[in-house]
Structure 1
Amino acid sequence: MDFMQFMGMILHADKSLKYVIENYGTLVYVVLFAIVFCETAFVVFPFLPGDSLLFIAGTFSATGAMDPWLVIILLIIASVSGNSVNYWIGSLVGHKVMEKEHRWIDQKALKKTHDFYEKHGGKTVVLARFVPLLRTFAPFVAGFSEMTHKTFQFYNVAGALLWVLSVVLSGYFFGNIPFVRDNLNVIVLVGVGAAVIPVVLGALWKIGKGIMKTSR
């Protein structure tokens, strides 16, 4: 699989995953593992399609194209191990990254995740699983926010189980309904929007309150 094929899978996950299954067989499991691992392990890959890929993997599993239990187990392992690597990186270099801007890291997303962490604590590691961008930065923030490794792993495993099981099984049970199958990309975008919009509205509400206080 060359770079252009990989990028095609990122942009059109449903069609590309089918292509990988038909032409590369069991290599599809390696591809799924690698994408989920990279999205959760490295803050430079927040654009990778976590939610849509899990949902579509569940959809194809329902048709017999993939083993659903193998998909679930591999993606849980990828998610847990990816977050663990991200936590470790955050504990080593997190403070330096926060203090100095780096063009290859979305500084706004990092700051938003840090603020979210300050408000919700360890639950952020679980809640962020369902929110693009926050999902990538949450374990990194936990790493330099003095959360103990034991506490982090509790939330890490719990979040991975909830995220992978809920999204993959949603695809398994609902992904092949004609309406869902024919509008898969739109539904995935709506799902992502449903996760992101409450966070954005919360941030805007906070900003609005701050403006109102300063204007008094």
Structure 2
Amino acid sequence: MKGIEAITALVSAYPYVSYGIVLVLALSESLPVLGAAIPGTAIIVGLSVLVPSGVLKLYPLLASATAGAIIGDGFAFWLGHRYHREIADRWPFNRFPALIEKSEAFFHRHGGKSVFLARFTPGVRAFVPLVAGITQMSAGRFYAVNILSALVWAPAHILPGVFAGAFAASQGAAGTRLIVLLIILAAAAWLMLRLTRYAVLHTVPLIMYAVEMLRAWAKQTDNLASRLVLRLMGPTEGELPILALLIAILIGAAWLFFGIAEDVITGDPLIVFDKSVFDFLQGLRTRAADAVMIGVTELGDTTVVLAVSAAVLVLLAAQRSWRTAAYFLGAVGGASIFNTAIKVAVHRARPSLDLYAGWSNFSFPSGHSTEMLRFTGS
């Protein structure tokens, strides 16, 4: 909470710096390459939350976002118009041939209005203005669409943050902290998804390369190990690399889970951190937030799980998918047994002891989270 209050105080002390940051973020989101790497939207929405409290003013914020969007697209258009097709062959643009090709297809499909549509389309947004310049779209036509799209884009991003800030203000001090925290979490989730996508895009080719190297070695060698490799990694076993990746993820997740379980049992510093997080979240509670959180967690309640499981089994039975139904039952039963066994073994009580009775009154691991994750996996 102190960190969030410090951010609010800093913005309040230097509002014009915040307007400048919004301008730069809006500009950067419109630039090729850079626009795909900066979570500008999340930060702009986060700053917009502070408008109802008077820390920032609405019209300067809108003007900054609009100006940044216009300048960013205009600079990308100038690059394409000035350097033509050769700009796509220069670093760093030559590192993204698929995105440029996709943006070109988008531009040719939608014509001049693609500049407007791209402003709201992830992926091609930062490259369509560049492509418009490369194809020698007239500057007058481009800037007419560019300005119009910026005038729509800025309110579409800022006003939701303003409304969220107004709602937070109606909930008191805890509401403001909650909204700001949600924006921070959204930015962190965006970054995590980007990093995960980057890791997958670079890991899968490495795995495929390693498999091909192993196959080449096995073809040149005649022993028990090479024959086993050829049998497992033959040309028809294309799913093996994916299976190996899934097994590696499973092993890593199991290692992480049992590491956390060990910390819970032995009372390591992780427990102190857990208590700190709990106390922090208690300070963010509001009546509306409690209602939403209760609704979310009850999706993993036994009654809901049984009803959804029964519906899934009826559907699978109607399709005569008996093997899939057996796997589904195994996942449901296995998750329940696994969860209950660890609850009984660890015996970690909930912060509030009057919510459930019996084994369900133990908090680790969470039964609701386990069931929700199991349904997601299924």
TM-score by length of 1: 0.69
Distance in 1 (alpha carbons) for counterparts of 2:56 and 2:45 = 13
The residue type equivalent to 2:33 in the other structure is V
Moved more, 130-139 or 110-119: 130-139
Match of 1:37 among 22, 27, 30: 27
| Equivalent in the alignment of 1:73 | 63
Shift in alpha-carbon separation, 1:95–1:185, aligned structure 2, 3 A = same
Q: TM-score, normalised by structure 2?
A: 0.42
Check conservation: 2:12, 2:56, Cα contact below 8 A: no
* Aligned counterpart, 2:149: 159
Larger Rg: 2
Question: Bigger shift: 64-73 or 51-60?
Answer: 51-60
For residue 159 of structure 1, report the CA deviation from its aligned partner: 0.7
In the comparison of the two structures, how many residue pairs are matched?
Answer: 176
Could you tell me the percent identity over the aligned residues? Answer: 22
Kept in 2, the 8 Å contact 1:89–1:140? The answer is yes
Q: Structure 1 pair 119/172, CA: closer, same or farther in 2 (3 Å)? A: same
Is 1:183 matched with 2:182? Answer: yes
Q: Which of the residues 70, 84, 91 maps onto 1:102?
A: 91
Alignment of 1:20-31 (within 5 A): 20-22=10-12, 24-31=14-21
- Tell me what 1:88 maps to: 78
The unaligned stretches of length 5 or more in structure 2 are 169-174, 194-378
Matched, 1:58 2:48: yes
Post-superposition CA distance 1:154-188 (Å, at most 9, x none): 11011101110111111111345458715335667
**Matched letter for residue 182 of structure 2:** N
State the alpha-carbon separation in 2 of the partners of residues 115 and 19 from structure 1: 46
**CA distance 1:89–1:187, shift in 2 (3 Å):** same
Structure 1 runs, 4 residues or longer, greater than 6 Å off: 14-17
What is the RMSD of the two structures over their aligned residues, measured on CA atoms?
2.8
What is the letter of the counterpart of residue 91 of structure 2? H
What is the match of residue 137 of structure 1?
127
> Any unmatched runs of 5+ in structure 1?
1-13, 194-216
Matched, 1:122 2:112: yes
8 Å CA contact 2:70–2:150 kept in 1: the answer is yes
Report if aligned partners of 2:45, 2:158 keep a CA contact under 8 Å in 1: yes
Flag the 1:29–1:17 CA change in 2: closer, same or farther, 3 A: farther
